[in-house]
Amino acid sequence: MRIFRLEALSDNYIFLLHEPKQNIAAVVDPAEAEPVLNKLAELKAELVAIFNTHHHNDHVGGNKKLIQHFPKVIVYGGAEDRGRIPGQQVFLQQGDRVEFGDRVANVIFVPGHTRAHIAYYFPPTLSSEPGELFCGDTLFAGGCGRLFEGTPTQMVDSLNKLRSLPDDTHVWCAHEYTLNNLRFALTVDSENTELQRRFNEVKVLRSRGEATVPSLLAVEKRTNPFLRWEQPSLQSSAKSNDPVQTFARIRGMKDKF
């Protein structure tokens, strides 16, 4: 399975999955249709699936046009997003699985950013390969999504599910927010030397116009403050020893950053 990262809108990423043997494709969170249609034309591939993580328009805005071009495409989304995702036919819950070509993804229910948010995790087929996590707006490189419909407790539980995946998992998040996320992270975890190095590396990448997605989950676990609510340095910044309250206070700081 090949993964193509397509730029959309101002800072969105759309992910096109391509299975070359059958020359079929699936798309994760098509913010708009044109980048997807252009890549499909280049590959001469048929779109067979749309995997939506949640209902926000910058993740589903291309659904209708893609369905017009590929009437047989199957549209997936969370069960609790019923009526909010254009063209949705399959309503997924925690523990469900979805197939694409010869790969199978596990569905993870991750409410917090929205009440119905889901993520798709493709485990590796070989022990030497990474897994592939498509997490929408739940986990970002260096950050996490705002809480629009969920609670801090829900978000901590959701992020904990993602944090429990193998360290070598690729994190395919849906926005290029990394530089600003790390700039904030340094304000609450300033003594983290790996975070300092990462920030400097990302500054160089972005100055060249290069993407920072995917990131690696092992790096997120060591540098992303929203996966480190048990760490004394973060609890000190939040002035709380409670993990959920630590997360909530840091998320509140980020909202005002």
Rounded distance between C-alpha atoms, residue 121 and residue 78, angstroms: 14
Rounded distance between C-alpha atoms, residue 222 and residue 228, angstroms: 8
Catalytic residue among 18, 29, 58, 170: 58
> Is 55 annotated as contributing to ligand binding?
no
Rounded distance between C-alpha atoms, residue 214 and residue 140, angstroms: 10
Residue with tokens 């950013």: 113
Catalytic residue among 18, 29, 54, 117: 54
Catalytic residue among 18, 29, 55, 59: 59
> Is 113 annotated as contributing to ligand binding?
yes
Known catalytic residue: 18?
Answer: no
> Is 242 annotated as contributing to ligand binding?
no
Known catalytic residue: 117?
Answer: no
Residue (of 129, 122, 126) closest to 49 by Cα position: 122
Catalytic residue among 56, 81, 170, 189: 56
List CB contacts of 63: < 8 A, sequence separation 6 or more: 30, 50, 52, 75, 85, 86, 87
Known catalytic residue: 102?
Answer: no
Rounded distance between C-alpha atoms, residue 53 and residue 68, angstroms: 21
CA 139-179-39 angle, 5° bins: 70
Known catalytic residue: 54?
Answer: yes
Known catalytic residue: 69?
Answer: no
Catalytic residue among 18, 29, 81, 113: 113
Rounded distance between C-alpha atoms, residue 66 and residue 73, angstroms: 8
Catalytic residue among 18, 55, 81, 137: 137
Known catalytic residue: 242?
Answer: no
Judged by DSSP in three states, 149 sits in coil
Catalytic residue among 55, 117, 170, 175: 175
Known catalytic residue: 56?
Answer: yes
Q: Would you state the structure tokens that stand for residue 205, as one six-digit string?
A: 């990448």
What are the CA-CA distances from residue 30 to residues 72, 156, 236 (Å)? 17, 26, 40
Rounded distance between C-alpha atoms, residue 183 and residue 200, angstroms: 10
Residues annotated as catalytic are: 54, 56, 58-59, 113, 137, 175
Residues forming the annotated binding site? 54, 56, 58-59, 113, 137, 175
Residues forming the annotated binding site for Zn(2+)? 54, 56, 58-59, 113, 137, 175
